Amino acid sequence: MSAPPYKQLEQEFKRLHAFRGALALLRWDAAVMMPRGSADVRGEQVAALETEHHALLTAPRITRLLDRAQANTQGLADWQIANLREMRRQRDHAIATPATLVSRLAKATSRAESKWLEARAQGKFELFAPHLEEVVHLVRDKAALLGQARNLAPYDALVDEYSPGLTTVDIDAIFRPLSKRLPSLIRETIALQETRPLMPLTGKFPAGKQRALVTEVMKAVGFPFDRGRLDESEHPFTEGVPGDIRVTTRFDADDVFPGLLGALHETGHAMYDLGLPQEWRDQPVGRDRGMALEESQSLLIEMMVCRSRPFVRYVRPLIAKHFGAGGPEWEVENVYGHLTRVQRGLIRVDADELTYPLHIMLRYELERQLLSGELAVRNLAEGWNAGMEQRLGIRPTNDVDGCLQDIHWAVGSFGYFPSYALGTAIAAQLYESLREGLEGLDEQLARGEFGGLFEWLRTNVHGLGAKVPVQELLKAATGKPLSAASFVRYVEAKYLESAASSVAA
């Protein structure tokens, strides 16, 4: 007698999980260790494993087992029923994107990515445009197919792939109040900050010593170096599976904070992954609940926990220890001023937390117009520049600082950008409740104690894996549905505080 359908499915998905882990390592290595000339060889390996993963997931046997298991869920626990739902979701997504489309997209995005690099090097959007057009066409096909399969509007189907259960309704509900409040708040903040000049944080920060500092802080945060690594790469990222999580950052010899905060942002992702339910670690229900929640965890750590006075109090002596940095410019208020400086800039990845959502709104608007055909790809650069001027009051003078700055569209990631802004709103809402529930948090953080913080996050977020939808998780954790209200309260309090209160704090 063979095992019950549900048990057989667990075995199948355990194998798929191992494939995903192997793919994660191939990608990590490509970004951190691989010799430059080996990209073609690696490309073949990734394609072979992805093709096989797709074939295993869409095999008729999986569909049959899912039908049988879902027809009779008697005797299954709620985690198992949720696991079946997530298995079905993964299978539906894979079935909806046939192997031929996946392969055409892989080739088109591979070409587009290399043309994007070339266009950036030469500062010419027109080199990239025809290749982006091809990608847009294929993503449009994919969105239509996914939408049919998931019973969603095409763009919502793309969002659903990254942030399951969230749609343009949720995104618009966040963006509407933000696009009203942020422009004036940015003006007020900049005006206020101009009245509080900062002393520059000068110094030399050799990479080896930065590494030692970052390692010390990550250990305090709880990152397990016996089951994870810290490395350097061109852009910080987190890759791997719980049990082998790898974080990267990039060190700037003239400024200690980009490397430290980049690593802590990624550590936020890693701690989420590490807090996922251990007993479900190789099953779909044991995975993270999508990119919006992922981003909420990295932003909560970087923006709310680390760009704060308590964290500055904790980290100042460590910076002094590792670099001998002292003097008045290293006083708490001056350092905190640097970590919370607001300015209108052209580059998303360099943006502060007030201007960042405006960068996202622009991309959200443009990518929907590209997919609907309302905006022709050839007019993207102009649309971008006009949008930047309208939203942030500054206009790029070249495409590298404009519509060529992000890799996302080149690699076919449409519907991904909103997860950054959704993540910001989720982070603020969670952090508000967390602070209400955790007495003495600031004192703990100032002592470098992160245990209480992560206990709350594990109970209310990490430990739930993919068991419940984001909205339900948020309702249970904060008592409220997702909205921008907490974020607005948070940034108003943080950026409009009077000089007096800031000195007293």
Single residue of 170, 282, 288, 399 touching its own copies by CB under 8 A: 282
Contact 118, 127 (CB under 8 A): yes
Contact 284, 89 (CB under 8 A): yes
Single residue of 1, 2, 36, 197 touching its own copies by CB under 8 A: 36
Comparison of 142 and 211: residue with beta carbon closer to its own copies = 211
Q: Give the whole-angstrom CA distance, residue 79 versus residue 345.
A: 45
Find the helix packing angle between 154-162 and 356-372, rounded to 10°.
140
Q: Minimal distance in Å, beta carbon 259 to its own copies?
A: 20
Single residue of 29, 141, 365, 492 touching its own copies by CB under 8 A: 29
What is the separation, in whole angstroms, between the first and last Cα of the chain? 68
Task: Using CA atoms of 284, 286, 291, 296 in order, give the dihedral in degrees to the nearest 10.
Answer: 170
Task: Choose the binding region for its own copies from 19-27, 77-85, 366-374, 395-403 (rule: CB under 8 A).
Answer: 19-27
226 binds its own copies (CB under 8 A): yes
Q: Minimal distance in Å, beta carbon 51 to its own copies?
A: 8
Single residue of 4, 8, 12, 25 touching its own copies by CB under 8 A: 25
Comparison of 49 and 332: residue with beta carbon closer to its own copies = 49
Q: Minimal distance in Å, beta carbon 305 to its own copies?
A: 25
Stretch 228-257: interaction string toward its own copies, x if CB under 8 A: xx-----------x-xx-------------
Residues contacting its own copies: total by CB under 8 A? 36
Task: Choose the binding region for its own copies from 12-20, 167-175, 338-346, 479-487 (rule: CB under 8 A).
Answer: 12-20
> What distance separates the 2 farthest-apart alpha carbons in the chain?
77
Comparison of 19 and 323: residue with beta carbon closer to its own copies = 19
Single residue of 4, 8, 21, 110 touching its own copies by CB under 8 A: 21
225 binds its own copies (CB under 8 A): yes
* SS3 state at 249: strand
Task: Choose the binding region for its own copies from 13-21, 125-133, 299-307, 330-338 (rule: CB under 8 A).
Answer: 13-21
Q: What single string gives the DSSP state of each residue in 432-455?
A: HHHHHH-TTHHHHHHTT--HHHHH
Contact 198, 341 (CB under 8 A): yes
Which pair of tokens denotes residue 402? 């404009």
Q: Minimal distance in Å, beta carbon 49 to its own copies?
A: 6
328 binds its own copies (CB under 8 A): no
61 binds its own copies (CB under 8 A): no
Tell me which residue of 202, 285, 219, 276 sits closest to 242, measured CA to CA.
Answer: 276
Q: Minimal distance in Å, beta carbon 244 to its own copies?
A: 4
Q: Minimal distance in Å, beta carbon 242 to its own copies?
A: 8
* Binders of its own copies in range 77-106 (CB under 8 A): none
Q: Is 113 a catalytic residue?
A: no
Comparison of 19 and 79: residue with beta carbon closer to its own copies = 19
Comparison of 29 and 497: residue with beta carbon closer to its own copies = 29
Task: Choose the binding region for its own copies from 104-112, 120-128, 226-234, 395-403 (rule: CB under 8 A).
Answer: 226-234
Comparison of 45 and 167: residue with beta carbon closer to its own copies = 45
Comparison of 3 and 320: residue with beta carbon closer to its own copies = 3
Q: Give the whole-angstrom CA distance, residue 196 versus residue 70.
A: 62
Give 498's contacts (C-beta < 8 A, 6+ positions apart). none
35 binds its own copies (CB under 8 A): yes
Backbone torsions φ then ψ of 467, nearest 5 degrees: -70, -40
* Binders of its own copies in range 379-418 (CB under 8 A): none
Contact 288, 465 (CB under 8 A): yes
Which pair of tokens denotes residue 218? 């990550």
Q: Give the whole-angstrom CA distance, residue 29 versus residue 422.
A: 30
Single residue of 4, 12, 19, 153 touching its own copies by CB under 8 A: 19
Comparison of 41 and 476: residue with beta carbon closer to its own copies = 41
Q: Minimal distance in Å, beta carbon 11 to its own copies?
A: 11
Q: Which helix (H) or strand (E) holds 423?
A: helix 418-437
Comparison of 52 and 252: residue with beta carbon closer to its own copies = 52
- Tally helices (H) and strands (E) across the chain: 21, 3
Q: What single string gives the DSSP state of each residue in 189-227?
A: HHHHHHTS----------HHHHHHHHHHHHHHHT--TTS
Q: Minimal distance in Å, beta carbon 52 to its own copies?
A: 6
* SS3 state at 368: helix
Beta bridge partners of 231: 248
* SS3 state at 60: helix
Q: Check 266, 294, 295, 367 and give the catalytic one.
A: 266
Give 449's contacts (C-beta < 8 A, 6+ positions apart). 220
* Binders of its own copies in range 39-58 (CB under 8 A): 40-42, 44-45, 47-49, 51-52
Q: Where are the alpha helices (DSSP H) in 123-196?
A: 125-150, 154-162, 168-194
Give 496's contacts (C-beta < 8 A, 6+ positions apart). 185, 188, 189, 192
Which residues are known catalytic residues?
266
Residues that bind its own copies (CB under 8 A): 14-15, 17-19, 21-22, 25-26, 29, 33-38, 40-42, 44-45, 47-49, 51-52, 224-229, 241, 243-244, 282
